[in-house]
A and B are shown apart, each in its own frame.
Chain A
Amino acid sequence: MSLAFDEYGRPFIIIKEQEQKKRVKGLEAQKANIMAGKSVARILRTSLGPKGMDKMLQSPDGDVTITNDGATILEQMEVENQIGKLMVDLSRSQDFEIGDGTTGVVVTAGALLEQAESLLDRGIHPIRVADGYELASKIAVEQLEKISTKFPLDKDNLEPLIQTCMTTLSSKIVGRCKRTLAEIAVKAVVAVADLERRDVNLDLIKLEGKVGGRLEDTELIDGIIVDKDFSHPQMPKQLEDVKIAILTCPFEPPKPKTKHKVDIDSVEKFETLRQAEKQYFDDMVQKCKDAGATLVICQWGFDDEANHLLMHRNLPAVRWVGGVELELIAIATGGRIVPRFQDLTPDKLGKAGLVRERAFGTTKDRMLSIEKCANSRAVTIFVRGGNKMVIEETKRSIHDALCVARNLIRDNGIVYGGGSAEIACSLAVEAAADKVPGVEQYAMRAFADALDAVPLALAENSGLQPIDTLTAVKAAQVKEGIPHLGIDCNDVGTNDMKKQNVFETLIGKKEQILLATQVVKMILKIDDVITPSTYE
């Protein structure tokens, strides 16, 4: 294998312990990598589009996830192959950046790899293929900008935004009540959006789910929901005009961080210590009271005695609230998180109009909702559904919808969906290819063919004749010069995506093409794979 000889003809070893390692070189390596990338893409291919199918994934612990969100599928698949992992990363970065189109990006990358394979077979050097792809992707992005239109964003007319979210949701299991969910998503985004700066902080939108009820019962709560209940069963279940003390110190005896011992050697000391202890609890509660708080939300636990004192002095309290939730509560109510009782002052309290406990079904499950907050810019989407899997999937779907709405607020350029943008790009790249001299021309044509993969998969998943449909739409686009003709997945009867109201964000599409090209280029450049062979 990797044996070399020095000038005296003695062999020496380049790779350490080479017997234990597998090595694939040259064209063979590229072929193997392409193969791996393709098979990952093939798994996702059937999940594309409104009629895409779901995948059922069983985790190592036996939990079941059912989803058709590309990023989730790949993440939970536990891919082991190195190239496969690249594809997973690809989908994840699309998820982080855009939040939608995670399936599309992998399918595009897979198609690009497939086309590259046949180019390699013809003896074209991988770098030339990569260069050609790079060129083509530029043209495609230019074309996207050209065909993109501005989305009418208006705070008073949210209808177009809702329509967009509905497109995103229609490919998921929640399609049944996409209208409701889309409205919820849009309202949530608009509530937290900073329209001046065109920015949306999605952290302010909390997705909380509870098994039971129907999907239709999903609601947008103008406030925060915490999966906790009051610390004492006899505290009032509903509070109005609440002043909240948000604490990160426990209602427990002091516990200095330095190691120490308190020695008791006489009865007097015993007595004083007892008094001090009692006083301590009393002081804690009194400090909260003095600051004017009417509700205490604490990150830590309560001692039994302290708990009763709180209850006794009419100071409802919630314990063991997680750090993230605490922060959200602080944002929503405009309060400050206070780490010591001494620091508690009236101006550090948060304010909320209504705090109440909600009970569900026949079990004893209760949740606390904090509504009508001082700063209404934190909202919660409360998801209900028949079972755990539906809820998880609904959460993912709503997250996608939220991302789409956010992207539109950030940048209101849109392109039409249903594969129409890909077809338009494909046509543009094809035309541009003829003008490029050299081998790159082939690569660009291949790129154009690869772009067709998305509309092809869409047509196939919708039960249409893929090639017939694609060629018909393509011909129509050229003939009529309209770039928004696409695949009619829902059997509406028109190919005009503008009429069907199917569109996607420009940045999302751009990112899809750029990311996919980047990853493919990276894969093509690998010509040597060294892996340790299986462990014994």
Chain B
Amino acid sequence: MAGAGGTRILQDEAVEEKGERARMASFVGAMAIADLVKTTLGPKGMDKILQSTGRGQNIMVTNDGATILKSLYVDNPAAKVLVDISKVQDDEVGDGTTSVVVLAGELLREAEKLISQKIHPMTIISGFRAAAETGRGILEKASFNNSKDKDKFRRDLLNIAMTTLSSKILSQDKEHFAELAVDAVLRLQGSGNLEAIQIIQKPGGSLQDSFLDEGFILDKRIGVGQPKRIENAKILVANTPMDTDKIKIYGARVRVDSMSKVADIEAAEKDKMRQKCDKIIQHGINCFVNRQLIYNFPEEIFADAGVMAIEHADFDGIERLALVTGGEIVSTFDDPTTVKLGHCKLIEEIMIGEDKLIHFIGVDKPEACTIVLRGASTHVLEEAERSLHDALCVLSQTVKDSRVIYGGGFPEVMMSNAIEDLARRTPGKRAMAIEAFATALRGIPSTIAENAGLDAAEIVTQLRAEHAKERSKAGVDVIRGTIGNMEELGIYESFKVKQAVLMSATEAAEMIMRVDEIIKCAPRKREGMGHGM
């Protein structure tokens, strides 16, 4: 802690850890995080309950690695590195958030053994780098691409979606949801713009009742006294104040000297609003959607004109609506001829459960769609949305990079065999590190098997033997508790996800290994945190 000879260099509460101790601290921290999410891996992985410390102590049930790690308060700096890679994995490819942390943890576990045998971390790192490169090569070779054949590709996508969903709460209805997700993503026609897919949660019913709607659903009410059903709708999407239209010029205020003038000004204001409404109606529309509130007065005008007015559609809703109907978001109304209006064939109010929603059918942009999730409770729905989001992300990434690979521990075992082969051909201490990398990779199928209550050692060794044969397609068959043919079982994964897992786990492990000193600065003093934290 203190510098030699009692001279303090750092601040009073700063902590400094060196050499072996530092390495210990970061390894232990990283492995603890990996062990924490380890049990959620694979189709038989378990969920975690997270209780927030905030007011209300909200509860969340999930087995999404990124969500778990995001919600944790981690103090260990090495653990933070792992949390970070999981988050990035989520942002980039959407799935594999648990795998990446587990793999990094396994790599560090193996590295620790080597370090205790007095092998220099830099030697281990260079071995790891060589191994990761070989692994990637193998991964690329084992992947296949069916994007030319439409039906086959669709089946691949379905399989990927099912594999992703099988580890989540949706696993009971995975066929159903896989269909939903694939349909939704294929509608995007390769644009990968997930914004066009809207997910609405509605408690009630069962998960099986969830459905994909080809139009757009807005969770809002139609104004009083206005038509509830419009065919061949012309929609004006706007972002404008429809409550009181204030003068925006700075410093403007009303100062009058008599009551009558107040009334005059009020009338003028009202007149202004009426003119605005008239201008809006002159666009020749029969539906008006505003981001901001619509007060009773303009609502009445719209009702008189037979225009459907929808108020307070939030920003996302407005943007999506503009996107799908092809209209532009309007804030001024002086030039009705050039404004692009949105179109759709039919707008009607529909009931889902007990709620009324507005349904836009036959929109211009066929890419858009809405998935309505039904389920027993909000927790279930939230987890369902997360799972579906994962699946959608993976699918949209797969549409972009259509290479596909078998799942169920197949790529890991295959890579590990190839890497072991590399180790045999590598002279010097690096070979030990390469071998360790192979062992770490086997940690993934072993964890999958373990979580399913199987004899992990038995399964993994069998897999290894199976992979020694040419062109094997063997992986862990969790359902039957043996090894099985991944192609027949339809367990597929996206190549991009697997590659990201391999590369970022290696990067993170390398980063943590390179550290030989940890300096924690004194935590910043916060007001009002005086007691018991």
Show the binding face of A for B, using Cβ within 8 Å: 31-32, 35-36, 38-40, 42-43, 46, 51, 53-62, 64, 66, 68, 73, 76-81, 84, 173, 176, 211-215, 232-234, 252-256, 259-267, 270-271, 273-274, 276-278, 280-281, 303-305, 307-309, 311-312, 360-365, 385-390, 462-463
Contacts and interface: CB of A to CB of B under 8 A. Distances in A.
A386 B255 contact: no
Interface in B318-360: 319, 322-323, 328-332, 334-335, 338-339
A311 B371 CA distance: 31
B503 interface: yes
Interface in B481-510: 503-504, 507-508, 510
B516 to A, nearest CB: 4
Contacts of B7: 32, 35-36, 39, 81
Interface string B244-262: 0001111111111100010
A43 B84 contact: no
Interface in B110-142: 120-123, 129
Nearest to B86: A387
Interface in B217-265: 239-240, 247-257, 261, 264-265
Interface in B368-400: 393, 396-397
Contacts of B90: 362
A464 to B, nearest CB: 11
B4 A312 contact: no
Interface residues of B, number: 85
A463 B120 contact: yes
Contacts, number: 243
Contact of B253 (A79, A252, A264, A278): A264
A212 B247 contact: no
A386 B267 CA distance: 61
B272 interface: yes
B510 A234 contact: no
A254 to B, nearest CB: 7
Contacts of A463: 120, 122-123
Nearest to A259: B251
A361 B249 contact: no
B520 A389 contact: no
Contacts of A215: 507
Interface stretch (B55-63, B75-83, B161-169): B75-83
A56 B517 contact: yes
A84 B4 CA distance: 13
B523 A265 contact: no
A421 to B, nearest CB: 23
Nearest to A304: B331
B26 A56 contact: yes
A173 B511 contact: yes
A232 B329 contact: yes
Given A66-B515, A264-B252, A387-B81, A78 B14 contact: yes
B195 interface: yes
A81 B322 CA distance: 60
A462 B122 CA distance: 8
B36 interface: no
A451 to B, nearest CB: 23
Given A66-B514, A66-B515, A60 B265 contact: no
Nearest to A66: B511
A382 B447 CA distance: 37
Contacts of B517: 43, 46, 53, 55-56
Given A77-B521, A80-B10, A81-B7, A211 B247 contact: no
Contacts of B121: 53
B268 A54 contact: no
B516 A53 contact: yes
A36 B9 contact: yes
A253 B5 contact: no
23 contacts: A36-B7, A54-B511, A62-B523, A66-B514, A78-B522, A79-B10, A263-B253, A264-B265, A265-B254, A267-B264, A267-B267, A271-B268, A273-B249, A304-B331, A309-B331, A312-B335, A362-B92, A362-B194, A362-B397, A387-B87, A387-B504, A388-B84, A463-B123
